[in-house]
Structure 1
């Protein structure tokens, strides 16, 4: 749990602006005090970034079927390009070359990371299945670099040059936490070994890919190149089939039931069956503007029981965030909706069921390189096992 290690934050030269925890703007409703409590069972939180430098937090309890503002905060100096959530920890990256960190359970800022020298374009947390909080944060930027942080104190471990002077469009982290895929403007797909901290290989693509995602098991991954989404086998990157969309795809989210949700310029949300490559169902005209983000919400363990609604959240560039119960795909109206009145660029969310726990004794990180932080001196890299 990141909040327990605030003393360690003060030791890191990569983490700035942590003199004390900043409280977000909560609005005028006294009822919103309920949001200060730790995330409870049957609650969903969504986080969105915008061109206007604001990060938005919303909460939904399926019983009330309404989205409630949790916070809005002008966190960056420039537009926000990416957000990522793991448990109660949120990270956002923007054109100001910084990563900002937040704690959802207390609605407070944890500070910022200034490791990058270019726009932060993609973020991804690694969290072991038995832990509700992340162990590592992986970030990519417009210079083609990939940075790895230890989430225990957000200490910078290493930076890898994956694509030479070419902006990374997207980053996908394997469920094992041992490897990552990146796609960039140099028309390449790179495979990065996160355990050894090096790039394994780089595959030349016919066209520039803008999105890359792993499925829940990690045995398949998906790439989007404009209107086409391709399904690949992880073992050898062999392409299985292509799925054609009417307009460019801007966002995608895999689900554990063998579906892949995509959204983009067509303003619709399409559910694809990744076993056949055919459309399972479609939420036509889900938004009045292009869809910029999709999140699939499940239980903390990834299960989707019959007694739980299967929820999909989407965000559009006109500022609307909507939540859909996909079991009622023929329903024209969303389950819940909120208008941020800003140009949204990205969306991330937590699981429905979340309980905060302390780290388990003896738990170890997949990444074994760690940077020693010394006051007034550059850090020295040692081979070390990171204990929980």
Structure 2
């Protein structure tokens, strides 16, 4: 698997998780985060990163009004997209099967840009919020038909990606800093919002609140997993695991980092039964990235499986599965060509 992290210092880092075998004991294995690349990618702070689940493609958005693309298998910077009219605050890929189909970018002027992931032509520029409110978070529904965006002043907008227009907007009681789609343990379609120390779990059909999770301190990162759990982290420096069906904490890692947790990645996009599907990664504001086995969470002292220190002020983290990076994208595109649902 691979991780991509961005920082205030304009740099972006790529790492791959590798298994190391001891020369003296071949049966003994350890994990290591090996560097893939390190680039001064933007002329301002890196504000967000995103990775296509299994295709080896990543993107970063910065305060310099640009989006940059990266080829993870070849550790290559593919260059920038200069279409954004303002600083890019959130990015999200939509993939059908193993193939990335679209990239969405939300900007500080309230616009939402839709790109075709094959060639990255700009398909549409939408107005997510009616008052040019700066976007703060973005999430694409697994169907690819709609996306949710939250604004810095407290707006929530739903965008119809098939018709290419905003279909709904409202004001939240408190401004949300992030949004994500999720499923509970029984497969119920949900979305989650974080506002300060609270995380609310909503029904995707009518937006009613199902659970309100009190995390104690401000939440700066969260990641839903297919197993019906939500990982949260932030100013408490720990990682909590929430059961989305009950709204209760099932386990946690106290003191996962020495400083604030700024990013969490759940590797549940790996092949079922893979050991990698039991791993999560976290990044903190002091530059440390750690990989954890979720099966050991809740123990008295959880020890990270791998760790690396970028020595930078990290702002964001994204990840993808390396096992599928050698995919023949042309064959995969042909297989899924009949299932396009986004604007082409």
TM-score normalised by the chain length of structure 1: 0.80
Alpha carbons of structure 1 residues 134 and 70: separation in structure 2 relative to 1, 3 Å: same
Instruction: Determine the structure 2 residue equivalent to 1:181.
Output: 148
Distance 2:219 2:71 in 1: 31
Deviation at 1:107, TM superposition (A): 1.1
What is the distance in 2 between the residues matched to 1:272 and 1:171? Answer: 21
**Which aligned pairs between 1:117-128 and structure 2 lie closer than 5 A?**
117-128=85-96
By how many angstroms is 1:299 displaced?
4.5
Distance 1:218 1:203, change over 3 A: farther
Q: Distance in 2 between matches of 1:95 and 1:264?
A: 22
Is 2:293 the partner of 1:325?
yes
Name the residue aligned to 1:353.
323
Tell me the CA shift for residue 133 of structure 1.
2.7
Q: Between Structure 1 and Structure 2, how many residues are aligned?
A: 322
Quote how far apart the aligned CAs of 1:366 are.
Answer: 1.5
Larger proportion of strand? 2
Q: How does 1:123-272 map to 2 (within 5 A)?
A: 123-129=91-97, 132-163=98-129, 164-215=131-182, 219-272=189-242
- Structure 2 stretches of 5 or more lacking a match? 20-28
Correspondence for 2:11 among 22, 29, 54:
54
Write the mapping of 1:282-361 to structure 2, written as runs, cut at 5 A: 282-301=252-271, 303=272, 305=273, 310-329=278-297, 330=299, 331-351=301-321, 353-354=323-324, 355-357=326-328, 358=330, 359-361=333-335
For the 8 Å contact 2:269–2:277, the answer to whether it is kept is: no
Q: Is the 8 A contact 1:175 1:218 kept in 2?
A: no
Structure 1 CA distance for aligned equivalents of residues 222 and 94 of structure 2: 19
CA contact (8 A) 2:267 2:277 kept: no
Change beyond 3 A, Cα 1:156–1:307: closer
- Given that 1:230 and 1:243 are in contact with CA atoms closer than 8 Å, whether structure 2 keeps it comes out as yes
| C-alpha contact (below 8 Å) 1:177/1:194 kept by paired residues | yes
SS of 2:295's partner is helix
Mapped contact 1:89–1:133 kept (Cα < 8 A)? no
> What is the alpha-carbon distance in structure 1 between the residues aligned to residue 241 and residue 189 of structure 2?
19
Any residues of structure 2 matched to 1:12-27 within 5 Å, and which? Answer: none
SS at match of 1:135: strand
Distance 1:218 1:135 in 2: 25
Q: Could you tell me which residue of structure 2 aligns to residue 7 of structure 1?
A: none
- Aligned-pair distance for 1:351? 2.0
- Does the residue aligned with 1:353 lie in a helix, a strand or coil? helix
Conserved 8 A contact 1:316-1:344? yes
Q: CA–CA distance in 2 between the matches of 1:345 and 1:363? A: 38
Distance (whole Å) between structure 1 residues aligned to residue 12 and residue 188 of structure 2: 30
8 A Cα contact 1:135 1:152, kept in partner: yes
Q: What is the CA–CA distance in structure 2 between the aligned matches of 1:196 and 1:97, rounded to whole Å?
A: 26
For the structure 1 residues 189 and 74, does the alpha-carbon distance in structure 2 shift closer, same or farther, using more than 3 Å as the test? same
Report if aligned partners of 1:297, 1:352 keep a CA contact under 8 Å in 2: no
2:73 to 64, 89, 105: 105
Q: State whether residues 88 and 133 of structure 1, in contact with CA within 8 Å, keep that contact through their aligned partners in structure 2.
A: no
Q: Displacement of 1:218 after TM fit?
A: 7.5
Point out the more displaced range, 314-323 or 212-221: 212-221
Measured after TM superposition, the shift of residue 110 of structure 1 is 1.4
**62-71 vs 46-55, greater mean Cα deviation:** 62-71
In 1, the alpha carbon distance for the partners of 2:321 and 2:121 equals 26
CA RMSD of superposed structures (Å): 1.5
How far apart are 1:246 and its partner, in Å?
Answer: 1.1
Moved beyond 6 Å, runs of 4+: none
Question: Is the 8 Å Cα contact of residues 298 and 352 (structure 1) preserved in structure 2?
Answer: no
Which of 69, 77, 83 matches 1:115?
83
Note if contact 2:56-2:322 (Cα within 8 Å) is conserved in structure 1.
Answer: no
Residues 268-287 of structure 1: CA deviation (Å, up to 9, x unaligned): 00000000010010100000
